[in-house]
Structure 1
């Protein structure tokens, strides 16, 4: 799984990068056919935004979350993506 990270108005530190990679490795446990992940971390005044686009075999999943804390925004993003990946996996196995 290849993770591309982009920061808008924020410098992506090594600890932030490791945190995101750790969270996405947990996501990979549910569905191992994740090809590419593009994560954008954005800061606008008091709001911290995290968004991600995941390329799967035959599908593309997008999610976005906002919070006052960047780590909380990443956690909420992973929760949203986890639900979407599980739903895609169920559809994929039914076909």
Structure 2
């Protein structure tokens, strides 16, 4: 799984990069056919925003989350993506 991490109006520190990679490894436990992940971290006024587009085998999943703390925004983003990836995996197994 390749993770592309970009930041708009925020500096991507090594701790943020490590936090994102450890959180996205949780997604890989549920579904191992994740090819590419593009994560965008953004700051708008007082809100921290995290967005991600995940390229799966045969589909793409997108999610976004906002919070006052960047780490909480990343956690909410991972929860949303986790639900979507599990839903996609169940659709594949039903067919």
Question: 1:7 aligns to what?
Answer: 7
Q: Secondary structure at the match of 2:92?
A: helix
Question: 2:90 aligns to what?
Answer: 90
Question: 2:44 aligns to what?
Answer: 44
RMSD of the alignment, in Å?
0.4
Q: Secondary structure at the match of 1:12?
A: coil
TM-score normalised by structure 1 residue count: 0.99
- Write the distance in 2 (CA, Å) between the matches of 1:11 and 1:81: 23
Deviation at 1:94, TM superposition (A): 1.1
TM-score normalised by structure 2 residue count: 0.99
Deviation at 1:92, TM superposition (A): 0.8
Query: What does 1:1-95 correspond to in 2, within 5 Å?
Result: 1-95=1-95
Q: Deviations over 1:25-79 (max 9, x none)?
A: 0110000000000000000110000000000010000000000000000000000
Q: Which blocks of at least 5 consecutive residues in structure 1 are unaligned?
A: none
- Structure 1's consecutive aligned runs of 4 or more residues displaced over 6 angstroms after TM superposition are none
- Write the distance in 1 (CA, Å) between the matches of 2:65 and 2:76: 6
Q: What is the number of equivalent residue pairs in this alignment? A: 95
